[in-house]
A and B are shown apart, each in its own frame.
Chain A
Amino acid sequence: MKHDYLDKYSRLDSFIHKLDPRVKLICFFLAVVAVVSEPRGDLTGFPFYYLLIILLLAASRIPLSFVLKRCLIASPFIVMAAGVLPLSYLLSPGASASPSSAESMWFHPLSILLKAYAAVILLTLLSSTEKFHRLLNGLQKLKFPPVLGVMSALMYRYIFILNDEMLRTTRARKSRTPGKSRISRFRIYGNQAALIFLRGKKRAQDVYNAMMSRGFQGEFQEYNGFRLKLRDGLFSLLFLALYTGVRFGL
């Protein structure tokens, strides 16, 4: 079975991978806040943000193609959000042909595009440089509500279960479909989807029973504790200094 989702490259061994998950969570979250809080239409900070992102990417050894694929997945939503702005300018009754208005028409959507892609890349970097369960443990340490952590962990596990069931039912379908299927594809896919969810529900219940029988009471206990190291302190200082420096034009 193939099981690579959020944390596909989390087993790489780079400087960024070695950092404490709490440090990464705080730094990446603040970096996203710094980027998205840039004034509308102001593009001066973005070359620096993207330079920092490129440096982080290089340091993490995450393949660029993987990051670009993630961006591509988010693209429809980002482009749609950014594309509405020029339209709203053109269609608004007070739209004028003044140079400032024309600039706004293009700079605002461009800044939205740049902000959104920067956020997507930063979050991809975060999820690809740390195992998902360690990120959840990090959130737990940062006093994130435990129930949300457990829900996320179970949801993550449910993705694997659904994928397992999807692979099984797809194999069964293909093994009984020599050549072209005579039955409507949509009907087959509909039946398969229903079956996947039904079987997924049963498997999820079995997994939960197995967890309960080993004493699970709604909270994941931490096995390997976290310890902050010098590199964590240095990285967070440098990282936050650079991002706040760019954000506030220092």
Chain B
Amino acid sequence: MSKKIIPVGPYHPLQEEPEFFQLHVDGERVVDIDIIIGYNHRGIEKLCEMRTFDQVVFVVERICGICSISHPSASVNCIEDCARVTAPLRAQYIRMIIAELERIHSHMLWLGLAGHFIGYNTVFMWAWKYREIVLDIFERITGNRQSYAMFKPGGIRRDIKKEEVPKIINELGELERSLEMFRGAVLDDPVLHARLKGVGILTREDVITFSAVGPTARASGVAIDVRKDDPYFAYDKVDFDMIVTENGDVFDKVIVRVLEMFESVRIIKQGLTGMPDGPYDTPLKDMPPGEGVGRAEAPRGEVYHYLRSDGSNTPARYKVRAPSFMNVATNAVSAVGQSIADATLTLAAVDPCYCCTERMQAVDYKTRKKVYNWSDLVRLSQEKTQQLKKKF
């Protein structure tokens, strides 16, 4: 049979950054995949080198909007590591609370979009509806729904007021009830089991050779989590579990994310009650020449920042490595061997790498004739779910 190429991207109607996948297909099977990125490259590292250490945190906040606190987390860790200072304990607790709230909203967002991809638009709407609870909390305590500008080297910018605490805990209860509903919806639905199990398997060996991180790695049985391995903020003072599953398929990736949200709620509750009083900011005066490494566990995995300072007020080199950079590459193995209907889902399962396109077209390599477009492909995926639904 002749080999065909399906370009996926770089623009997608629904969401997320532009990325470009070329699926090489043989009939219904994906036999190879080319990943072309760079439609989003804005030269953040260079921009960081032009700015003072205080401003760097704002710059890295604009790397990603979904996890807009994970880069500042790594960044403040990195700058504090280089300057050899630690932020006060209260600041560490508040940072942790913000980071965990964000993990919930990010996982919810992903869950919703994953629901859309397999034709469960109800899940999409529900997930985004309950996500608003988190965004409301954010708006109250930080002043913005996203891009909170909360962190600064040496502390945080705003305190969480005492009277806020019971309100937040109350809202978390409401959130937990909706999470419970999601857990039920995922675990008890035979259609989802049939649709997602065994799809897009990423083996343990592949995770290691690609050095994948975050839920992508944990779903394949690789137990890595910066919060546990190299505790930052106040993560060593709270009790939570690392969720690890063994199979590495899309279903396990969903499970890891759903269960992680419960852990996040646990962490936030402990954080809010255990938060000590005291100062929440220490002024950072001088930056000695040297190096610093900052890590943080973003919703998608480990964020890695490396800083080199020459003693001036701007970094000499600022290196940012986002988790997706390692995770997207794994699609090169996990999507291969799948049918086209499953490939969209597999590409989406890593999380950031939505099959971003407005024209996902199957092009016959020789005649250049259009075979599928993007909506056909989502339809393919949704139809498969429908067929499975009928079976049950």
Are A and B genuine complex partners?
no
Interface positions of A (Cβ within 8 A of B):
none
Interface positions of B (Cβ within 8 A of A):
none
